[in-house]
Structure 1
Amino acid sequence: MAHIDLGLDEYEHPGITGLLIYRPETAKPLNELADALLRGPSSLSPGERELIAAYVSGLNECKFCAASHSAFAAAQLPGGMHLVDQVRHDPQSAPVTDKMRALLAIAAAVQQDGRKVTTQLVDAARTEGATDVEIHDTVLIAAAFCMYNRYVDGLGTLAPNEPQLYEEAAERIMANGYRR
């Protein structure tokens, strides 16, 4: 049960979903930011961007966001959940491109402390073909998901254990995006 009364059935609206319904005036910009970062125009695919969100959420141990964005990434990447699990467990040995591996290293640095993003990490990403926009977006996705994770966990929202709930949400996100 959430730390505050959301006035709804948390089993029907778990995690951030219930929080967004509770405060629609803050939901709008939060959804717009997620949509721009994860679904908007980019040279990184939506699946790759969801993978960054899932990875950071896993590092933050945010069960709801890690599970949901893992499902969203898996639904959009050829390697599916097996790939996502590999990345979340050990991005250095996961079968992703060297560019994605370098971007995940930047995301991990942001998750720890934005000041841990070093010139060496940025140069390594550039060496692997990352553009400045991709580096920018990786930092912003990682920073935003630290905020989203703390929002969800800070209010103690429900994180269901049933994978099919996250898979169903992935279908909705792929069809409609994050804007409600």
Structure 2
Amino acid sequence: MLFKLISAMSGVRFPDAARVAFYHRDFAGPALNNWTQQVMRGPSEWSVGERELMAAMVARFNSCPFCVGAHGAVAVHGLGSEVVDAALGDYKSAPISGTLRAALAFIEKMTRTPDALGTDDARAAIAAGVSRNQLLDAAAVATVFNIVTRYANALDFEIPGPDDFAKSAKTLLKRGYAS
């Protein structure tokens, strides 16, 4: 009943991610939400848009269309659709800063081939201008979304259309992730 009311008021189907957090608080409840809130909205040298793009990129690396759509839609508010679309297509040639590109390269390796990730990769990111704090924050985003994308895929979240992702993005920007 609550989900129907929220859906009717927002004009968007209550997202599966929120349903999981509501029904399975021990699985994806306050602890994961609070951690995600800190990583995505806490103090950082990265903007909210950049961190949301990182989340969308981890989702792309993990083939999670729900999270690509959700976090890509939020990233658009900070970076613009042309930048987000270009980065999701190929971040190596997208019109983004060299530091963001280096951080995305680091989290791509962290996501796709974690056993191959080493200190040389961190040194390469730092040499490209990524600060230690930025690297830690990027790794935190990748860690959270390597968990979230896997459970979204495992639970086969429904994929809303672009309009619903755009509406949900506004809510996520306003409310954040904490429950």
TM bracket (short chain):
0.7 to 0.9
Establish whether residue 89 from structure 1 lines up as the match of residue 89 from structure 2: yes
TM value normalised by structure 1: 0.87
Separation (CA, whole Å) in 2 of partners of 1:135 and 1:94: 20
What is the root-mean-square deviation in Å for CA atoms of aligned residues? 1.9
**For the structure 1 residues 50 and 56, does the alpha-carbon distance in structure 2 shift closer, same or farther, using more than 3 Å as the test?**
same
The 5 A counterparts of 1:18-37 are: 18-25=19-26, 26-37=28-39
Separation (CA, whole Å) in 2 of partners of 1:116 and 1:47: 28
| 1:60 alignment counterpart | 62
The 5 A counterparts of 1:160-171 are: 160=160, 162-171=161-170
| 1:4 alignment counterpart | none
Aligned length: 171
The 5 A counterparts of 1:19-168 are: 19-25=20-26, 26-77=28-79, 80-160=80-160, 162-168=161-167
Partner SS state of residue 82, structure 2: helix
TM value normalised by structure 2: 0.88
Q: Is the 8 A contact 1:99 1:128 kept in 2?
A: yes
| 2:178 alignment counterpart | 179
| 2:15 alignment counterpart | 14
Q: Between 162-171 and 39-48, report the one with greater CA deviation.
A: 162-171
Encode CA deviations 1:68-109: one digit per residue, 9 max, x unaligned: 0000111112xx122111111111110111111100001101
Partner SS state of residue 15, structure 2: coil
Q: Which runs of 5+ in 1 are unaligned?
A: 1-7
Separation (CA, whole Å) in 1 of partners of 2:165 and 2:131: 31
Q: Which runs of 5+ in 2 are unaligned?
A: none
Q: Between 66-75 and 139-148, report the one with greater CA deviation.
A: 139-148
Q: Is the 8 A contact 1:102 1:121 kept in 2?
A: no
Partner SS state of residue 29, structure 2: helix
Separation (CA, whole Å) in 2 of partners of 1:21 and 1:135: 32
Separation (CA, whole Å) in 2 of partners of 1:96 and 1:14: 30
Separation (CA, whole Å) in 2 of partners of 1:46 and 1:99: 15
Q: How far off is 1:46 after superposition?
A: 0.8
Encode CA deviations 1:95-129: one digit per residue, 9 max, x unaligned: 11111110000110111132322333212211222
Q: How far off is 1:15 after superposition?
A: 3.1
Separation (CA, whole Å) in 1 of partners of 2:16 and 2:89: 23
